[in-house]
Structures are given as structure tokens and as C-alpha cells.
Amino acid sequence: MLKTTTVVVVVLIAALLVFAATKPDTFRVQRAARIDAPPQKIFALINDFHSWGSWSPFEQLDSATTRSYSGAANGKGAVYEWEGSGKTGAGRMEIAESSPPSKVTVNLDLVKPIEGHDIVEFTLEAKGNSTNVTWAMHGRNSYFAKVMNIFRSMDSMVGKDFETGLAKLKTVAEKPAADAVTSPAQRPYAARDFSS
């Protein structure tokens, strides 16, 4: 009986690994929202990593996360690095393309808990007095990621965070200018920010 059970388990694991190999080599997660603000105002919030604390859902995961900023102050060449515990993990982002006020492309390098190298894109399209904002991420699926995707897809892991982030971005961008976060002292986690 034990031998039969062992054989069944081994066959199931082998089948799982073979099935994982058939999964796509790449992934893409995308969400969009309409924001009642001009693209220039929204672009400024995305193009400056210092502003991400006001809308990015990932900034709220771990209050002990340390952050550093280097390179350009904003736009192409701006670099943001972080290190925390748990879900926050550690990683680095660099703005690779900045085309005001329509597109920001970010190179995302995750170090932990799982290593990954992906591309994040924000596109903004003016529609009358509103702006359609699309937040997308794409990259390669490692074999480990393919195995993980059998149980939970990248879309299900990240999509909800994108929706939350776009909702927060909408709230911040639609505030009157006088209510907007303007100084470093007003930014979340400013006490823990340090520049290099």
C-alpha cells in the first residue's frame, strides 16, 4: 500500500512539473482607470518616485521599510531602492523612459522574496477633461514562476494591487492643488527616506 501511494505521489509530481513546462514563457498584468484630472498632473505623480508614497499600494505593506533615492531627481534615470520584511521584500526601480505627459516605463528588479526582472509601464491618454491611465507589468516566467502559476496566476497576485493603486492615484490626482502633497515633510515615510 505504501509503495503504491509513493508511486502515485511521484507520478502526480512529475505530471505537475510537465504541466508547468507548458505554461507561457511570458506574462502580462494590466489594469486601467479613468481619472478626472489632466494627464500632466497625473504624470507628475508617477514620474517622481518621491510621490509614490501618496498612492502606491506597495508603500503601505511594511512601515519599517527603508528607502533610498539616487540618480535623477525624477524622470529618466531616477532610481528608487527599498528593503523591508515580509511581502515588501527588497528591490530596485529605475525610470527607463519618460515621455511627458503620456508614458513612464520603469525597470523593476526584485531581489527578494523572489528574484525577478520585469518592465512596468504607465500610459496616459487624455479623454476630454479626464485621463485614461493604464498600469501594466510584463516579463519572463521562470520555471519556478510557471510552477507557482499553476496554483495562482501573476494576474491574481498583482492585479488587485494595481486596482488599489489606481484608485489611490485617482483620489490624489483629483484633489484640488491646495490639498496635494507638496513637501517632503508631508510625504508618507519621509522620516525614513534617505538620498544617496
**10 located within any domain:** no
Q: What is the CATH number of the domain that holds 95?
A: 3.30.530.20
**7 located within any domain:** no
**87 located within any domain:** yes
**4 located within any domain:** no
**18 located within any domain:** no
Mean pLDDT by 10 residues, the chain (196 residues): 76 66 79 98 98 93 91 98 88 98 97 91 97 96 67 81 98 81 42 40
Which of 97, 113, 114 has the alpha carbon at shortest distance from 105? 97
Grid cell 502606491 — which residue?
Answer: 56
Which of 58, 41, 50, 49 has the alpha carbon at shortest distance from 126? 41
Query: For residue 57, what pLDDT is reported?
Result: 94
What is the SS3 assignment for 112-179?
A: ECCCEEEEEEEEEEEECCEEEEEEEEEEECCHHHHHHHHHCCHHHHHHHHHHHHHHHHHHHHCCCHHH
Residue 67: which domain range?
26-195
**45 located within any domain:** yes
C-alpha cell at 187: 510625504
User: Which is it for the CA torsion 171, 37, 191, 103, positive or negative?
Assistant: positive
**17 located within any domain:** no
| Distance from C-alpha of 83 to C-alpha of 85, rounded to nearest angstrom | 7
C-alpha cell at 32: 486601467
Number of domains in the chain: 1
In sequence order, the 6+-apart residues with CB closer than 8 A to the CB of 43 are 100, 101, 102, 104, 124
